[in-house]
Amino acid sequence: MSRPPFVVPLVLSAVCLAGAFRPSMPAPRAPATPTATPRAARAMQTKPRLVVLITIDQFRADYLDRFGHQLTGGIARLARTGAHFTNAHHDHAITETAPGHATLLSGRFPRSTGIMMNAVGVDDEDAPLVAGGYGAGASPRRFQGTTLVDWMRAADGRTRALSVSMKDRGAILPIGRSKSDVYWYSIDGRFLTSTYYRKDLPAWVQHFNARQMVAQYAGRTWDLLLPDSAYTEKDSVAIEMAGRNVTFPHRLTDDVVDAGSAIRITPFMDDLVLDFALHGVTALGLGAGPQTDLLAVSLSATDVIGHNYGPDSREIHDQVLRVDRALGRFLDSLAVLRGPTALTVVLTADHGVGTIPELAPDSVQPRPRRVSLQQLVPTLRAQLRGDKVDTFALGLDVQTLLSNRRAFRKPAQLDSTVQGFAALARLVPGVARADRFAQLLGDTLTDEIARRWAHQFPAASNVELVFTLDPLSTWGGNVASHGSPYAYDSHVPLIFAGAGVTAGKHPQFVRTVDLAPTLASLLGVKALEPIDGVPLPVNR
């Protein structure tokens, strides 16, 4: 989702520091700091040497049902042999890549991690890329608090971690501020890091980059994995990819430089990331023991393909089949390297995605739209000018209206201006709600959307209004998008498998913030601060 040209930075007070908030839930839950229970003590007998977190960017939970009969690889295996939580959700309102990844190993909602939207993510000009490459500098400096990596190291200082992704935020945010081996993809075909982590690339990364694997993909064709009859989706939908390259086969350019960028919208990108991760596990001796190490892998191709072709496309269908097979090969290789009993694997996603608005079924009413509130900004500026208030005292940042409250002489003046803007916003087609953020905090038990907004921002912030669209309406310029508090964006897979885990399906409502305390319980380590999640029953 792109940023508007005008953004007022969030101003956060000390109360948004880690541990300052407790979760608001549909039903009361247990306190959040995990301790060693008898069940956890039994699990310690099969304590893994390597914990593997696999995050598939933009992987909807219903893909497991829709394509399950054709899945034969790693996803199918994890679903069959693991503890599968079928009603798992990101329980926050802005379901984007950065806040989603930040919840997974922190056990905390965006209001506490400080990563409340992509715009408040990892960009950092003071941490430039090591060894050149394309892209801005990046670091976790905006991330607040700790993650499972820190908890593991507090228990055993020998613990090592490797985190890799195509995206910088996908590699950085799962492990927070930890100084670990963290690498992401540059469109020149290399995996790089920033000066936040190290001054130069280690020899094993240089060796992998020297293989110039993107050159091996240049000119390759992405064709259907299965016979044409196995796919029910149309293969030519004009709105996909903005009308370009809408049918199979999809051929990568022969130009190696251009292929470095184009590979990101093919399943080959995930293959490259998994190859790099496996190379890193071998080079670093991850999981060789005696301590438990952590590997975090975020796979981004599903997200790029989904944004351009939509979740109901033939391309997504084939991508799900291919990432399933790729994960099967990857898990097989890990099992050979470290032994199948040495691994505990978690599969999840950072968010889902909605149907392309123009392709929504006729039954969806009101009809989905592509929405912007930017046309209201001139009116807002004129009102502020007329009231002799700084015209930048209020700023629209896509889904929120932010304020500089000190610019207003009286609170009533701010309230009147904000309420007036809310009334205008509610008249815009596609806008379902325009809520005063402070007022939402009073009804988080029965109002799911209010609860998710309450989990998004700290109570003492400069967020005045939050805007929720009609289902399947979008803010973004992508063909298909996400970022809403609705189930199609929040509902993701959550599967634990391997050492210490008992197979079974669990239909109860759970949150992605429960992932970290569940792993902590399995490992017998404690969170270093109060958290929002609770351990899940994966080994009963």
H, E, C per residue of 112-130: HHCCCCHHHCCECCCCCEC
Encode pLDDT of 36-87 as tens digits: 444 444 444 568 999 999 999 999 999 999 999 999 999 999 999 999 999 9
**How far, in Å, CA of 434 to CA of 432, rounded?**
7
Residue 258, pLDDT > 60, answer: yes
Average pLDDT for 336-363:
96
**How far, in Å, CA of 408 to CA of 415, rounded?**
10
Residue 498, pLDDT > 70, answer: yes
Neighbours of 207 (CB within 10 A): 12
Buried b (16+ CB within 10 A) or exposed e, 479-505: bbbbbbbbebbbbbbbbbbbbbbeeee
Whether 48-359+487-523 and 374-428+431-469 share one fold: the answer is no
**How far, in Å, CA of 89 to CA of 23, rounded?**
14
Cα separation values, 39 from 46, 404, 483, Å: 12, 50, 37
Neighbours of 80 (CB within 10 A): 13
pLDDT bracket for residue 32 (50, 70, 90): very low
Predicted pLDDT at 172: 98
**How far, in Å, CA of 464 to CA of 395, rounded?**
10
Indicate the SS3 state at residue 365.
coil
Cβ atoms 445, 480 nearer than 8 A: no
Cβ atoms 3, 490 nearer than 8 A: no
Average pLDDT for 340-366:
96
Q: Which ranges in 365-479 belong to alpha helices (H)? A: 377-386, 411-426, 437-440, 448-454
pLDDT bracket for residue 135 (50, 70, 90): confident
CATH code for the part of the protein at 48-359+487-523: 3.40.720.10
Residue 10, pLDDT > 80, answer: no
Q: Which ranges in 83-202 belong to alpha helices (H)? A: 97-104, 110-113, 148-155, 168-172
Predicted pLDDT at 249: 96
Residue 515, pLDDT > 60, answer: yes
**How far, in Å, CA of 482 to CA of 399, rounded?**
12
pLDDT bracket for residue 540 (50, 70, 90): confident
**How far, in Å, CA of 358 to CA of 398, rounded?**
21
Residue 31, pLDDT > 90, answer: no
Reported pTM: 0.91
Average pLDDT for 191-203:
97
Indicate the SS3 state at residue 508.
strand
**How far, in Å, CA of 154 to CA of 157, rounded?**
6
Q: For 17-31, 150-164, 239-253, 271-285, which range has the lowest pLDDT when averaged over its residues?
A: 17-31
Amino acid at 206: Q
Cα 118 to the center of its chain, rounded Å? 10
Indicate the SS3 state at residue 302.
helix
Query: Which residues are bridge partners to 89 per DSSP?
Result: 491, 511
Residue 23, pLDDT > 60, answer: no
CATH code for the part of the protein at 374-428+431-469: 3.30.1360
Cβ atoms 52, 327 nearer than 8 A: no
Percent of the chain with pLDDT over 90: 87
Predicted pLDDT at 441: 84
First to last CA, the chain: 41
For the chain, the 3-state helix, strand and coil shares in percent, each to the nearest 5, are 40, 15, 45
Cα separation values, 469 from 5, 177, 366, 369, 477, Å: 21, 34, 11, 9, 15
Encode pLDDT of 425-467 as tens digits: 999 999 999 999 999 987 788 899 999 999 999 998 999 999 9
Cβ atoms 439, 466 nearer than 8 A: no
Per-domain residue ranges of the chain: 48-359+487-523, 374-428+431-469
